[in-house]
Structure 1
Amino acid sequence: MFKRTACPIMVGLLALSFSGAAFAKKGSTSYNIDQREADQELRIQQGVKSGQLTPKEASKLEKGEARIQSREARMKSDGRLTPNERKQLNHQLDVESKKIYREKHDKQKVQ
């Protein structure tokens, strides 16, 4: 009887422990910002590959991403991001994301 009830309980507890570890990683503030930066870099690369972004547009967008990463490094120099710093970085990422969208959907294309 004990084996029948203990096994499903153990499996459930094990699953919860793994999901909690994954959530902690994804829920961290650094993960969110780093993931957004990586996603935006990918969007720029995809735009170049598809011809939606000209080399000049891509260069300009890459410089914007580099500025954000540089600013993030300065903010993290004390070892952590404050809520206000996180808010500032997220705002900059929002602005840059809109620029990527506008450049990818404008009339300029690579022939």
Structure 2
Amino acid sequence: MKTKFIPLLLAGLLTCSAFAQSVSTDVQRNVNQQTRIEDGLKTGQLTTKEVGKLEREQAAIAREEHNALKDGKLSAGEKAKIDRMQNKASADIHAEKNDGRVGNPNSVSSKRMQADVQRNVNQQQRVENGIKSGELTNHEVAKLEKGQARVDHKEAVAAKNGHIGEAEQRNIQHAENHQSKKIHKEKTDEQVRG
């Protein structure tokens, strides 16, 4: 009995580890893409309006990650769909950065968006660290990705016309503050990755 149990236990642990690695990889791609968007704003390769379109796409990816993880599992089909969405988003970031349109990285709107996107990077890194440390379960990651989708959507709506006003940024910051508190709460509760 013991000889059959040990291989099954090891297989289960390896599956959990591979699953955690897969979720962590998806979140790391989110971090990378948000970093590329922020870099494009800082260099003027991206306009605020272009970032609005890219953030709409990031919101869709976060919603898909939420839907895929809310049952606590990530199937091969769900992973493949997220990978396709992330590959398209990556290509779209590259295309927008190289389309010849130039943004003003020193404009008020660009500075506001740069700050918001930097916060996306920071918060996604906190989620990734929580996955790697075992502080976050897949259910918790699903909740957090739903919240990130809301933040990304607010950024997309605010930047749709290429200008982000003070009130729009306050609205985004409110959502980001809420998301930050949720990340802290989920990382410090009693649930841990099994």
TM bucket, shorter chain: 0.7 to 0.9
**Per-residue deviation, 1:106:** 0.3
**Per-residue deviation, 1:70:** 1.3
Report matched runs for 1:1-111 at 5 Å: 24=106, 28-111=111-194
**Per-residue deviation, 1:37:** 0.8
TM-score, L = length of structure 1 = 0.74
Q: Which has the larger radius of gyration?
A: 1
Structure 2, unpaired ranges of 5+: 1-41, 43-105
In 1, Cα distance between equivalents of 2:169 and 2:158: 9
**Per-residue deviation, 1:36:** 0.4
In 1, Cα distance between equivalents of 2:154 and 2:169: 11
Query: Aligned residues: percent identity?
Result: 35
TM-score, L = length of structure 2 = 0.43
**Per-residue deviation, 1:31:** 1.0
Cα deviations by residue, 1:50-100 (Å, 9 ceiling, x for unpaired): 100000001110111011101210111011111000011011100110000
Aligned-residue RMSD, C-alpha: 2.0
Corresponding residue of 2:11: none
Number of residue pairs the alignment of both structures matches: 89
Structure 1, unpaired ranges of 5+: 1-20
